[in-house]
C-alpha cells in the first residue's frame, strides 16, 4: 500500500477500510513518506508493516513474508525512529490539532478550516492556541515550520 493516491485518497484511509473487512488481508505500507505522523497513522489504521521504497530487496522480501504471516514488519530505520520517539517523547498533537496544522500548512484560513472540519472558527482558534503552546511558537507560519521539522506534517 502506498500512502498517496492523488485526488484526496490516502493509503491510510484505504488501509483502515481494508482492515475493517470481515477476514481482512494484512497490509504492508511501501512508501516514500517517513514522517512520524505518516508512520503512526498507517500503524493506527492497521498496517502490519511499514517500509520505505528505497529498502533493500532482502528487507522487502522479509517484510512481505512477515506481513503475510501476520507479524509486524518495520524497516530498521522506521523501527529505530519509533524506539527513539518512545525513549524521548516529543511534542504530541492530538489528531484534531494535527488536522488543523495540516490545513494551515495548505494555506487555509480559519474560516476554511472551520468549514472543512465542521467546527466553529472559535474552535479552530482554540486548537491553534493549543498548537502554538505545544510547539512553543507564536504564529501560524512558525507552527507549520515546527510541525514539519518534527515530522508531524509533510
Place of cell 502490519: 48
CATH number of 4-87: 3.40.50.2300
Terminal-to-terminal C-alpha distance of the chain: 18
- For domain 95-149, give the fold: Arc Repressor Mutant, subunit A (1.10.10)
CA distances from 33 to 50, 54, 107, 151 (A): 10, 11, 21, 10
> Which pLDDT value is given to residue 89?
59
The mean pLDDT of 4-20, rounded to a whole number, is: 85
Residues of the chain with CATH 1.10.10.10: 95-149
Q: Which of 4-8, 12-16, 71-75, 113-117 has the lowest mean pLDDT?
A: 4-8
Residues of the chain with CATH 3.40.50.2300: 4-87
> Which pLDDT value is given to residue 145?
92
Q: Which of 32-36, 40-44, 55-59, 109-113 has the highest mean pLDDT?
A: 109-113
Q: What is the mean pLDDT of the chain?
A: 87
> Residue 48 and residue 66: Cα distance in Å, rounded?
9
pLDDT digits (tens, 9 = 90+) for 85-104: 677 656 778 889 999 999 99
> Residue 125 and residue 41: Cα distance in Å, rounded?
24
Amino acid at each position: 500500500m502506498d500512502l498517496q493516491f492523488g485526488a484526496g485518497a490516502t493509503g491510510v484511509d484505504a488501509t483502515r477500510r481494508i482492515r475493517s473487512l470481515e477476514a481482512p488481508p494484512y497490509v504492508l505500507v511501501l512508501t516514500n513518506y517517513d514522517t512520524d505522523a505518516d508512520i503512526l497513522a498507517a500503524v493506527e489504521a492497521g498496517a502490519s508493516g511499514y517500509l520505505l521504497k528505497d529498502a533493500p530487496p532482502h528487507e522487502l522480501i522479509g517484510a512481505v513474508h512477515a506481513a503475510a504471516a501476520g507479524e509486524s514488519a518495520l524497516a530498521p530505520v522506521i523501527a529505530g525512529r519509533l524506539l527513539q520517539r518512545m525513549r524521548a517523547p516529543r511534542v504530541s498533537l492530538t489528531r484534531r490539532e494535527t488536522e488543523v496544522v495540516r490545513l494551515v500548512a495548505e494555506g487555509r484560513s480559519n474560516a476554511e478550516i472551520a468549514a472543512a472540519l465542521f467546527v466553529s472558527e472559535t474552535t479552530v482558534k482554540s486548537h491553534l492556541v493549543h498548537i502554538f503552546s505545544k510547539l512553543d511558537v507564536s504564529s501560524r507560519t512558525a507552527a507549520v515550520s515546527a510541525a514539519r521539522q518534527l515530522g508531524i506534517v509533510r
